[in-house]
Structure 1
């Protein structure tokens, strides 16, 4: 589905309203399988760098939290094996990343997850 198609816009609108049905098929996030702790660590690092200096981590915007969950967390190929708490923590960090960096933040996350997997595979 192309992001500019009316169906895509409709789906995102329904998603934000929490009415979007789950989509069958394989995960759409182009990253290797990874443990939740590793993915959370990468997302946390990127979000902390993106969030303006504050004394405590801000709460994610609820609509962005739903978008982060549906379009990033649930689309990770390892997500079915993660606990609900791990998915919720990752969604928090991804929502903050989206809030402060938009789609570029998600692209940086995908790149960082792929780089982390490559480093791990190379042993470096």
Structure 2
């Protein structure tokens, strides 16, 4: 499972449109993104306006695999959303492209090829 990322669209882009750098920064800041977990349920990530990201896998039992909560930093590089956790994924930087699927849904593709969908919350 990739505790990846994703974003909120405030009615901006069209469905199936890859988001650009400026859109990503504007739309992710202050949003809670719910990743669809392969083991069921949703995995919430909160992208704070100050560049901090908080994640909790407690609701889906993530503690069986790694620390159930973590925090890190997020930023935009080019047309990708990047993040680096304190402990998750050994603190490696991960970057993602994001595509608007419409209906407050996104597809993310990590730089390693992993992909998934997410729901945009508040």
* TM-score bucket (shorter structure): under 0.3
Flag the structure with larger Rg: 1
Structure in which a larger fraction of residues adopt helix: 1
State the TM-score, normalized to the length of structure 1: 0.27
Higher relative contact order (CA 8 A, sep 6+): 1
Structure in which a larger fraction of residues adopt strand: 2
